[in-house]
Chains A and B, each alone.
Chain A
Amino acid sequence: MTDKIVTLNHGAGGTAMRHLITELFVSHFDNPALSELADAALLEVNGSRLAFSTDSYVIKPVEFPGGNIGKLAVCGTVNDLAVMGARPLYLSIGFILEEGLNLNLLERVVASAADVARAAGVDIVTGDTKVVARSECDGIFINTSGIGLQPLGNGLSSNPIAPGDVIIVSGTLGDHGIAVLSAREGLTFQTDIESDCAPLNDMLHTVLSKSAGVKWMRDPTRGGAAAVLTELVEQKPFGAIIRETAIPVREDVHAVCELLGFDPLYLANEGKVLMVLEAKDSDRVLEILRAHPLGRNAAIIGNITSDSPGHVRIETMVGSVRRLQRPSGELLPRIC
C-alpha cells in the first residue's frame, strides 16, 4: 500500500479499495467463503445453503429524495442476498449515533427501515446501539447484516457465462447517485429525481422461479454499472459489449450528468440489477421484469462476446466503440 494513511480513495470502490480488501482483509481473514468476494458469502450448514452478507451505511445527507439511511441499510443488505439467488430472511441492524442527533429524525429513519423490511418480507431480529460524542461520527451510521436461504435447484443457472449471453438491466441507471448529490450541501440545483432505493428480492425471486437461464446477477451500487460489468469480465476468457443507446437513463438524470460531467454508468443505484442470461430466455425475462413495478424500464443493453476477453466495450451513441474502464477514485463534478 503506497499511502501511509487511509484516504477517501480507499472507500471509493476503485483500485485503492480493492487493494485494501485483498492485501489487508482477505490476507488476514483468509478462508474459502470470503475469497469469493461476492456480495454475500455462500455457506453450507447441515445441508442448507445459507447466504450471509453485511454492509455499513454512511450517507450524507441522512435523508434524501426517495429515501433515507434506514431504508437504504435494509434494501442494501436484502439486495446483496437476493442477487446471490438467496431468499433474504433475517436482518440485524446496528446504529452508531452522534450525540445531539434529533430524535424525530432517528424515528423517521427507523420507521422507514421497518416499513421496507416488512415490504421485503424480512424480519429485523437483533440490533445494537452506540452513541458517540458530538463530531465523532456524522449523525447516523448504520450496519446491517442479513442471512438468506439459497434454494437448491431453483437459483441461478450453473452453466458458465458464454459468448452470446445477453446483459439486461432492470431499469434506469444513476437515479440514486444524482438524487443524493442533489440533496447535498453546496449543490443548489433543483430536480425531481428520487433515489431508486428498493428491495429487489420479490422481483428477482419471480425471475428465478420462471427462468432457469439466469447465470449472474449484481446490484450496481457504488461504482455503478461500470464497476460490476468490468468485474464480471476481469481475467475471464470472454468480454462484453454494451450499447449506449440501449441504456435506460432518465432524461433529467442525463441532463444533470451532462452538466456536471458524470457518466450514469458510474453512478450508484440502490434498486437496480444487472443480469447475464442465456439469449433464448431474454425476451421472457424482460417480460417478467417489465411486469414488475421495479422493472418497468428493464432493457437489454448488450451481450457477452468472445472478442476483447477481459474487457468491456461500449458502442457510443455516435457509433464509435471504446473501452469501458473500471471506476477509479472519487466522483467529482467538473469545473466550467
Chain B
Amino acid sequence: MNILLPFRDADVMQRIAAEIRQFDIDRPLRFMEVCGGHTAVIYRFGLTDFLLSTIRLVSGPGCPVCVTANDFIDRAIALCELPDVTIATFGDLVRVPGSTRSLAEVRARGGDVRVFYSSADALTWAREHQERTVVFLGIGFETTACTLAATMAECVQSGVKNFRFLSALKTMPAALQALFSAPDVHIDGLILPGHVTTVTGLSAFRFIPREFGIPCVVSGFEPIDVMESVLMLCRQIKDHHADVENQYRRVVRDGGNPQARAVIDEMFEPCDMPWRGFGIIPESGLKLSPQFAFWDSENVTVEVEPPQEHRGCRCGDVLCGRIYPSECSLFGTACTPETPRGACMVSSEGACAALYHFAPVNYDR
C-alpha cells in the first residue's frame, strides 16, 4: 500500500475538521504557512474547504524561488553573457523574470542555461565539460544549504576549477524576525516548515512565541499534517499559550540535525541577503566562507543592469501575507504561469501559481 495514503484519508480529514470547528474562537484567525511546500498542499488538496471562513491561511516567505530578488537573476544573466559560461540551475528559476529578462529568454537567444535536478549532477557535468565555466545558482533554505554545502565541499576537495557558486541561500529564522517586526503584519499563528526544522531544530524558532507571542507548529507536508497543525494552533490560542510545537515528529527531531548544521558552517558563513518583498535582511543569507573565495562568483566582476521592480507585481505583499494573490490586479490576466510577471507565479510552490493551478471551484477566472 502507498505509505502516503493514511495522511490523505478523507475520514480522518473530516474528524480533524470537526474538532477544529468545536473550538469556536470568537475572532477571525490568520495563520501563515511559511513554506511553499505547505502552500502547494493547501491549494492542491483544497484544505480551506474544511475550515470555517473565520480561519484563513495566508502564504509566507518560504518559497525559495519567490523570495529570490531581481538582482540575483540579473547577475546570473550578466554572468551567462560572459564567454564560455554555463549557468546551472534548478528548473523553476529559469522562468523567473529578472529586472528586464528571464534566464529562459537568455537561453532562447543562445545563452547556455542548463537545468539540473541536483547540485551534485551539475558538478558532474562541470567535470565532464572542462571547457566551460559552470556557475551554479544556489537558492534555497537550510535544507538545500546542507546539500549544496556537501557539493561545494566535494568540489573544493577534488579541486574542480571550472565550477562556481552564486549564492542566494537564505536562513528562515532571520526572515521571520524581519516579518514580525514589520508594523502592518498581523498573524495569529505560524505553520513552520518541516524540512527546514529537520536541520535547525525547534529552538531556532522559539523567539517567535517568546518575542511576538505567536503560537507555532512545525508541520509535515501531507494534507492531514497541515490540518492537524491548524488544530494544534487553535488549541494553543484557546489555551492562551504560545510555544513551538512539533506536529512532524516522524521526521523532525526537536534538536534538529547538528551534523547538517556543521556541514553548512564548514562551507558557508552568514551574510546580508536581499529578499523579494523585504529588501536586505541582515545576516539572513549564507555565502561561501572566505577561504573558498575562488569558487564564489560574487567575486567575478561583471556589469549588472540596475535592478527594477516589475510594474504592478505585488509579490512582495503576497510574500508578507499582506494580500492574497487574487488581490493583485495582474493575477490571471497579464500574469499567468506562461507569462509570469513575478516569481510567485513561476514556482509551483509560489502562492500565485498555486492559486492559478489549483483554483477553487467557485473561482471566476
Residues on A lying within 8 angstroms of B by beta carbon are 2, 5-9, 14-16, 185-188, 251, 254, 258, 260-261, 308, 311, 313, 316-323, 325, 328-330, 332-336
| A335 touching B338, Cβ below 8 Å | no
| A318 touching B338, Cβ below 8 Å | no
B289 lies within 8 A of chain A by Cβ: no
Residues of B within 8 A of A316 (CB): 44-46
On chain B, the number of residues with a Cβ less than 8 Å from chain A's Cβ atoms is 59
Residues of B within 8 A of A334 (CB): 91-92, 347-349
Q: A8-B104, A308-B361 are known contacts. Are A335 and B90 too (CB-CB below 8 A)? A: yes
Q: Measured between alpha carbons, how far is A14 from B357 in the docked complex, in Å?
A: 13
Closest to B93 in A: A335
Q: Measured between alpha carbons, how far is A321 from B13 in the docked complex, in Å?
A: 14
B361's partner among A258, A321, A330 (CB-CB below 8 A) is: A321
| B144 touching A9, Cβ below 8 Å | no
| A332 touching B91, Cβ below 8 Å | yes
Q: 29 interchain pairs (CB within 8 A)?
A: A5-B109, A7-B104, A7-B105, A8-B104, A14-B338, A186-B116, A186-B125, A187-B121, A188-B118, A258-B4, A261-B40, A311-B361, A317-B223, A318-B47, A319-B10, A320-B49, A322-B44, A322-B360, A323-B358, A323-B360, A328-B338, A328-B356, A330-B95, A334-B348, A334-B349, A335-B91, A335-B92, A336-B140, A336-B195
Chain A proximity of B350: nearest CB distance (Å): 11
Closest 6 CB pairs of A and B: A320-B46, A332-B91, A319-B10, A320-B49, A323-B359, A328-B337
Chain B proximity of A180: nearest CB distance (Å): 14
Q: A325-B356, A332-B94 are known contacts. Are A186 and B121 too (CB-CB below 8 A)? A: yes
Q: A186-B117, A187-B117, A332-B91 are known contacts. Are A318 and B356 too (CB-CB below 8 A)? A: no
| A336 touching B104, Cβ below 8 Å | no
| A323 touching B363, Cβ below 8 Å | yes
| B359 touching A322, Cβ below 8 Å | yes
| A7 touching B349, Cβ below 8 Å | no
B108 lies within 8 A of chain A by Cβ: yes
B162 lies within 8 A of chain A by Cβ: no
Residues of B within 8 A of A260 (CB): 117
Residues of B within 8 A of A188 (CB): 117-118, 120-121
Q: A15-B336, A319-B13, A329-B337 are known contacts. Are A335 and B144 too (CB-CB below 8 A)? A: yes
Q: A332-B91, A335-B64, A336-B140 are known contacts. Are A318 and B9 too (CB-CB below 8 A)? A: yes
